[in-house]
Amino acid sequence: MEKKLLNLLFGLCICTVPFLFKGEKMRENLVVFFSKGVLATLVDAYVVGTKRVAYPVRPFPQIFKTNLIYDILFFPILSVIWVKISYNDRLPIILLKSLIFSVPMSIGQWYFEKNTKLFKWSNWSAFHTFGSVCFTLFTIRGFVGLIKKIDFLKNKQPATE
């Protein structure tokens, strides 16, 4: 059952990619995608390394202790979607919109930890998931804000010939 769930998640992620990476903000979406992949992998490597979370069923178990589908596909795709829906919002609305992702993710992981072998928690809870999801979402959103500010300043300066 777990392998089928992972294959389904992988398929959904692959089907989503062409719709996310088109249009005028493709560069920013790619930056969000890859930076979230790096951040999620680093956070997950720490959490798995400290034995707080384990992934009994995962791709390439002989090579990786983390779940690559979550770290380099699923979470980055969710971050791209989150940045897209919060791109022009102010902080209070961004905080509210972050709950659209962090609350279901926390409940979903709690459910799957109790009912499958996808996750095994030790010194971890849905609240930890909530905090780590919020931390990574806001880190990436701050990074996008920095990119927007740099682009604004760059476009504001007169062109040099």
Report CA-CA distances (Å) from 137 to 44, 61, 111: 14, 27, 21
Place of tokens 């905080």: 95
Residue 49 exposed, middle or buried by CB count within 10 Å (0-12, 13-18, 19+)? exposed
pLDDT, tens digit (0-9, with 9 covering 90-100), for 127-155: 999 999 999 999 998 888 888 888 888 88
How distant is the alpha carbon of residue 7 from its chain centre?
Answer: 18
Per-position b or e across 86-101, b if 16+ CB within 10 A of its CB: beeeeeeebeebbeeb
- Residue 91, pLDDT > 90, answer no
The residue extents of the domains of the chain are 2-13+26-150
For tokens 């720490």, what's the residue?
Answer: 46
Return the closest-CA partner of residue 71 out of 104, 46, 103.
Answer: 46
Position 13 scores a pLDDT of 94
| pLDDT higher than 70, residue 159 | no
Of 39 and 88, the one with more pLDDT: 39
